[in-house]
Structure 1
Amino acid sequence: MSSDVESFTAHLQSSKRILALLGAGLSASSGLPTFRGAGGLWRSHDATSLATPEAFNADPVLVWQFYSYRRHMALKARPNRAHLALAELARRNPDFMTLSQNVDGLSQRAKHAPEKLQLLHGSLFNVKCTSFYCSYQAENFTDPIVPALAIPFDASDPTTKDAVEERREMDISDVDIRLPSLKITDLPKCPECHQGLLRPGVVWFGESLPSKVLNTVDTFINDSSKIDLILVIGTSARVYPAAGYVDDARAKGARVAVINADPEDIPAGGLGDKDWFFEGDAAQIVPDILKSVIGEIEQPTERLQ
């Protein structure tokens, strides 16, 4: 391990153009439940069936309740040292770009430079109007986004609120509550056209990835300069376009460094003799292996907003 760190550090210090590809394993280090691992009341639902345009059209109330829960959980979590380390690398390196498959807003809250952070799957904290005639979209970190979507409590049980609050502090992935009945008029409306419903600005199953993001990434990769290094953090990178970005970076000369808690999670193209695999918690490993160029990263004691 020490020799791997030494060889990685030597390469990092000579690297100019760097890519980072992020997956759910990075946010797991912040204690955030994965998309398919949502706890509490959502254990009885198939989360993937709620993440489609068809589901929103059929039952926007249920879909918004699910995404309001996910927004709340993401805001309860804190950016970890790996988020902070990558944000610091973005500040120090003009030719660094992060491609994130995460929608939890933790990189943004770590103050990662927006122009160096490409959100492949959108964000829980972007909202956009569903009206065909309206192009409104905005960033929104308000929790709840409208009062009706607040995490509810059982008013008939005076102990429920305290119990839920205690459980939130212990385990943010488990909120055991009942869903209230809401009307469509209770859901967030577009502040611009005042007609359309707002929807979460995430990429749902069956939707295309954002073309602006894809074009920005392609421009970076296809630049005439070589790519020195790609960091693959908390993702297997076996699904496209993620897998393709690893291959593209390697074709431009990049060496690959994988940071993952699962030793089986390696990119589809495998690892070469000159690549690295660092097994363990990304929140610990990423700041350590980047320390020679970004300095020491401490976990802040205050919650980042």
Structure 2
Amino acid sequence: MTRSFTSRRPYWTRHTAHAQTTMAPRTSIDELKELLESSTRILALCGAGLSAASGLPTFRGAGGLWRNHEPTSLATPDAFEDDPVLVSLFYAWRKHMALKAQPNAGHFALAELAKRREGFLCLTQNVDGLSPRAGHPAAQLRHLHGSILDVKCFEECGYTEQNNLSDPPCPALAAAAADYPPDLTLPLLDPNVPTPEIDVEDLPHCPNCKNGLLRPGVVWFGEALDELMLMEVDNWIARGKIDLMLVIGTAAAVYPAAGYTRKAQRRGAVVAVVNPDADSAEGLMRNDFFLQGGAAEILPRLFEGVIGKMDADGKIVGA
């Protein structure tokens, strides 16, 4: 079983031998545009910051608690086994929020880059399904942590279903898909309001084995990432020199996903971080880049020489 750990410090700061001798990275978007336009093999690692402009909060949550629960405490197999109703409500609400959200200019820019650069591979830690909805080619996208739009059997009978758009997932979970005016709090999110009384038998069950409950197709804490997918990514990295590694909207603090930055560096990649948090520049070398800001604002400008100009709706002007 794969063990995950987190740290506030960027991965390359913790694991680069000469991290203490780093100097300020470059901050010129024009210089980075030139490098990107001449690059043939580009690897990207994306995190929750990519979806921030779509109105989705980061998983660890600027908002803190969910009904007095740490969101991470609900993202485990043990939590689902102990209280499948509560965890199902939590994920039904997150799925509803993901389906309500729309891809932003950052998602569209990455999708257009993929269409124009055969040697581009994007690794996303996001489970919200916004990248595919932006038209990102599936062959150039890997969902490291799965998708909240997929479901599978908790008893691991082998049943899986991709792109399940049921909202709510079943009538019993209707409270998670209710919409309220912005000035009112959804009762489900108010810890002072009891959760709906739901019988476990009324939750979605596996149509294959008939016994297991259906769970979201995401990688929970304590679970291993898909081994075949990891092998595919490693094979892609080993194929040759990597010109550029983009780290977008993530602190690169969760292993093993964050380890890809170091692997790309070993293949000769220049690292370019796009993040509004200035601390994300820590540990970068003077040959690397740090662009401070949101992905939806920066990526369309950065990719302009390859994809053309993009309007506010994520459409290529003149296409």
CA 1:83–1:122 in structure 2 vs 1: closer, same or farther (change >3 Å)? same
Conserved? CA contact 2:27–2:289, under 8 Å = no
Conserved? CA contact 1:88–1:112, under 8 Å = yes
Question: Are 2:227 and 1:203 equivalent residues in the alignment?
Answer: no
| TM-score between the two structures when normalised by the length of structure 1 | 0.86
Question: Are 2:23 and 1:8 equivalent residues in the alignment?
Answer: no
Deviation digits for residues 174-195 of structure 1 (CA, Å, limit 9, x no counterpart): 9556521101111112233333
- AA in 1 matched with 2:36: L
Conserved? CA contact 1:230–1:257, under 8 Å = yes
State the match for 2:236 in structure 1.
220
Q: Percent identity?
A: 52
Post-superposition offset of 1:74? 1.3
Conserved? CA contact 2:105–2:297, under 8 Å = yes
State the match for 1:147 in structure 2.
171
- AA in 1 matched with 2:292: E
d(CA) in 2 for partners of 1:128 and 1:257?
Answer: 36
Task: Map 1:50-199 to 2 at 5 A.
Answer: 50-151=74-175, 165-167=180-182, 176=190, 178-199=194-215
- AA in 1 matched with 2:234: D
State the match for 2:15 in structure 1.
none
Structure 1's unaligned 5+ residue stretches are 154-160
- AA in 1 matched with 2:235: T
Deviation digits for residues 42-68 of structure 1 (CA, Å, limit 9, x no counterpart): 241121111111111111111100000
CA 1:109–1:175 in structure 2 vs 1: closer, same or farther (change >3 Å)? farther
Post-superposition offset of 1:36? 2.7
Question: Are 2:289 and 1:276 equivalent residues in the alignment?
Answer: yes
SS at match of 1:207: coil
Query: For this pair of structures, how many residues does the alignment match?
Result: 288
Conserved? CA contact 1:136–1:192, under 8 Å = no
CA 1:240–1:2 in structure 2 vs 1: closer, same or farther (change >3 Å)? closer
d(CA) in 2 for partners of 1:222 and 1:14?
Answer: 20
CA RMSD of aligned residues (A): 2.7
d(CA) in 2 for partners of 1:18 and 1:234?
Answer: 17
Deviating more after overlay: 252-261 vs 176-185 = 176-185
CA 1:230–1:43 in structure 2 vs 1: closer, same or farther (change >3 Å)? same
- AA in 1 matched with 2:299: V
Deviating more after overlay: 201-210 vs 34-43 = 34-43
- AA in 2 matched with 1:235: T
SS at match of 2:122: strand
d(CA) in 2 for partners of 1:208 and 1:266?
Answer: 29
CA 1:237–1:301 in structure 2 vs 1: closer, same or farther (change >3 Å)? closer
SS at match of 2:54: coil
Conserved? CA contact 1:84–1:110, under 8 Å = yes
Conserved? CA contact 1:152–1:179, under 8 Å = no
Post-superposition offset of 1:233? 0.3
Conserved? CA contact 1:60–1:184, under 8 Å = yes
Point out which structure has higher relative CO (alpha carbons under 8 A, 6+ apart): 2
- AA in 2 matched with 1:210: D
Structure 2's unaligned 5+ residue stretches are 1-24
SS at match of 2:148: strand
